[in-house]
Structure 1
């Protein structure tokens, strides 16, 4: 009996070795074919792209458009859906004491027909320490149509107001 089991063991080992060699050959062929196809698929040469830009002259920066004693208001194009509108208010603030800081206050006022007066809708404040500066504020009116104006009060000076403007849907 020992010779018979040795023969079975030998033939089983031979079959396993044959399967292992076949699997190794298949894997080698697959890897070789993949490497060949990747090597033969060279990328196309890059096509040069020429970029060009137009030069437009700047007539006046935003800082030059602002003047002392006047508040200008513009509508921004980034307004949201419905009645949401964004505005930018600008003015030039001259510091009466250039060696000290100056404070200023913005106020977005809405006209109240029932009270017949301008009422505060939004407010903000800021300051700086320089001889003069162009100041800017970006209020947003959302879902409240009516007449508005922007007021700027500089510390130690009378308030100045923009022209009135209408926010509508």
Structure 2
């Protein structure tokens, strides 16, 4: 009978220990939750926030100091008033001669020098046209975050391609 009593006593002690740990965990959770709800019900101190603003003048849109356009030559000017980042806008201008009453198609090409292939590679293109006599044509390409050497090319239908001097874009 002593072995049976010892077995019952041992299993009873184990159950009592499990119940004690469970009660302790429940009590800890209750106390923690109670403290959390009491802390969150306290009023927060009020503070005054003062907002301020400063007046910034409105700037005019980007302007360019544009060189006069000439037939058979492309002038490229950088637009002023742009951002301080590497995004830069340019104005390319030229004069295209046409017969009165005839239509003319032309295309712009912004080419970037590739040191790897040692060739001018197309970066941007644009096409346009007009009807009438001589006209000054203009294109405003933008180079964004791509430093290097560039040039602008103008191809007029059935004539040779006019190329600008190269220019460097740097950040």
TM-score of the superposed pair, with normalisation by structure 2: 0.59
**Could you tell me which residue of structure 1 aligns to residue 130 of structure 2?**
128
Deviations 1:88-138 (A, max 9, x none): 00000001x433210000000000000100000000010000111000000
Counterpart pick for 1:82 among 82, 85, 94: 85
Counterpart pick for 2:118 among 113, 116, 119: 116
For the residue of structure 2 that corresponds to 1:65, the secondary structure is coil
Cα gap change, 1:64 to 1:111, in 2 (>3 Å): closer
Q: Structure 1 residue 80: deviation in Å?
A: 2.6
Q: Structure 1 residue 79: deviation in Å?
A: 2.4
C-alpha contact (below 8 Å) 1:106/1:124 kept by paired residues: yes
Counterpart pick for 1:65 among 65, 68, 71: 68
- C-alpha RMSD over aligned residues: 1.7
Counterpart pick for 1:168 among 151, 154, 170: 170
TM-score of the superposed pair, with normalisation by structure 1: 0.60
Inter-partner Cα distance in structure 2 for 1:106 and 1:157:
14
Q: Structure 1 residue 63: deviation in Å?
A: 9.5
Q: Structure 1 residue 82: deviation in Å?
A: 1.5
- Gaps (5+ residues) in structure 2? 1-64
- Gaps (5+ residues) in structure 1? 1-61
Q: Structure 1 residue 83: deviation in Å?
A: 0.6
